[in-house]
Structure 1
Amino acid sequence: MHTKKTYTVQEATRKLERYCAYQERCHKEVRQKLVSMHMIPEAIDVIIVHLLEHNYLNETRFAKTFVRGKFRMKAWGRRRLTFELKQKDISKVNINQALAEIDNAEYIEVFNGLAEKKANTMTETSTLKKKRKLIDYLLYRGWESHLVYEKTKELFG
C-alpha cells in the first residue's frame, strides 16, 4: 500500500522556503503547492504568513520579475502579460506597477523587431494571408491591436 507523504508545519515551511528561494512565486502557486502536499487550510495560512514575513513571498516582486522575463525572453506584449498575471490572481496594482517598468522605447523596439522578423520569414505568396498571419501572431503574443494594425499596414500596405 502506498502511503502519502505527510509533512509537519516546520517541514512544509522549509520545503516552501526552498521552493520560493529557487524562483519567484505567486501566492496562488504556493497555495496550490501546499494543497498538493495535503496541508490543512490552517497550516497553509500559517506557512504563507511566514513566507510573507520573511520575504520569501512577495507578489510585487513576483509581478515585476514575471513581466521582465516574459517580455525579454518571449517578447510578450502588455495585453498578454496582464492576462497571464490575472490568471495568477495578481492584483491590478501589482500588474500596473510591473508593466510600468517596461521602457516605452524598448517596448516599441521589441515589437518592431518581432513584427519585422516574423514578416521576413513568412512563406505565403498572398499578401492577404501574410497580413492575417502576422496580425494573428502579434495579437496572440499580446501586443495592442492599434500597434499590430499600424505595423501590418506599414509592412504590407
Structure 2
Amino acid sequence: MEKKSYTFDEIKQKLVNYCVYQDRCHAEVEQKMRDFLLIPEAKDEIFLYLMKENYLNEERFTRSYIRGKFYIKHWGKTKIKINLKQKGVTEKLISKSMDEIDDEDYEKTIRKIYEDYFSKQKGLKEYQKKSKTIKYLLSRGFEYDVVLDLMNKD
C-alpha cells in the first residue's frame, strides 16, 4: 500500500490533534512521529512546538494518568508506577505526582476491593480466603505493606 505523504504542517497538525484528544507522554508522541518518517530536525521542531504551546506536558499527562488508573480502573500505586515507567516517565515525576491519589480514598478503595473479593470466595477456609484476597490485591498493584496493614486492622 502506498504511504500518503504529508507536508510538515499537516504532520504538525496531526500531532496537535493527537495530543488534544487525550493527554500524551513524550514516548507516545515519539512513537506516533515514527509513522511519519520525519528527519530529526523536524521531530525536534514539532516536539518543541507541542511543549511550548502546552499540547504536550509530561506532568499533566502523568497526573491525569494516575487519576484515571486509580479512580476509574482502581489500580494500586505499584501497577501505576510500573506502567508509567514503561512509558518513559521519570521516577521523580511519578513520585511527585502521586499526590493525585488521596490517602483516604486509597485506603477506602483497597478496603472495598478486599471486602468484595473476600466475600465472593466460597467453600474455602478463612486463611485460604485471606491468602487469595492478598494475592488478588497484589495483582491489582497494591503495595504488600499496605495490604498487610489492612489485614491487621480486621
Same-fold call, TM cutoff 0.5? yes
1:3-22 pair list within 5 angstroms: 3-22=2-21
How far apart are 1:149 and its partner, in Å? Answer: 2.5
Aligned length: 154
- Native 8 Å contact 1:27 1:57 kept in 2: yes
Aligned to 1:30: 29
Match for 1:33: what amino acid?
K
In the alignment, does 2:105 pair up with 1:70? no
For residues 118 and 39 of structure 2, the distance between their equivalents in structure 1, rounded to whole angstroms, comes to 52
What do you get for the CA RMSD once the two structures are aligned?
1.7
For 2:52, the equivalent position in structure 1 comes to 53
Gaps of 5+ in 2: none
Q: How far did residue 128 of structure 1 move? A: 4.1
**Deviation at 1:127?**
3.4
Contact 1:7 1:39 in 2 (8 A): no
Distance in 2 of aligned mates of 1:123 and 1:23: 42
User: Mind listing any 5+ residue stretches in structure 1 that lack a counterpart?
Assistant: none
Higher mean Cα deviation, 119-128 or 129-138? 119-128
Q: Secondary structure at the match of 2:137?
A: helix
TM-score when scaled to structure 2?
0.91
Q: Distance in 1 between matches of 2:100 and 2:66?
A: 9
Query: C-alpha distance in 1, partners of 2:38/2:121?
Result: 51
TM-score by length of 1: 0.89
Q: Aligned-pair distance for 1:153?
A: 5.3
1:69-148 paired onto structure 2 within 5 Å: 69-148=68-147
Distance (whole Å) between structure 2 residues aligned to residue 140 and residue 37 of structure 1: 37
